[in-house]
A and B are shown apart, each in its own frame.
Chain A
Amino acid sequence: AQSVTQLDSQVPVFEEAPVELRCNYSSSVSVYLFWYVQYPNQGLQLLLKYLSGSTLVKGINGFEAEFNKSQTSFHLRKPSVHISDTAEYFCAGGTSYGKLTFGQGTILTVHP
Chain B
Amino acid sequence: ETGVTQTPRHLVMGMTNKKSLKCEQHLGHNAMYWYKQSAKKPLELMFVYSLEERVENNSVPSRFSPECPNSSHLFLHLHTLQPEDSALYLCASSPNGLTYYGYTFGSGTRLTVV
A in complex with B? yes
Interfacial residues, chain A to chain B (CB-CB below 8 A) = 32, 34, 36, 41-46, 49, 51, 90, 92, 94-100, 102-105
B42→A99 contact, CB < 8 A = no
CB within 8 Å: A-B pair count: 55
**Interface locus among B13-21, B60-68, B73-81, B93-101:** B93-101
Given A90-B43, A105-B42, answer yes or no on A98-B97 (Cβ-Cβ < 8 Å): yes
Is residue B32 contacting chain A, with contact meaning CB distance below 8 A? Answer: no
B92-114 interface mask toward A, CB cutoff 8 Å, 1 = contact, 0 = none? Answer: 10000111101111111010000
Determine which residue in B42, B56, B102, B108 has the highest number of CB atoms from chain A within 10 A of its CB, and name it: B102
**Given A97-B97, A99-B45, A104-B42; 6 other pairs, CB 8 A cutoff:** A43-B105, A44-B92, A49-B102, A98-B99, A99-B48, A102-B42
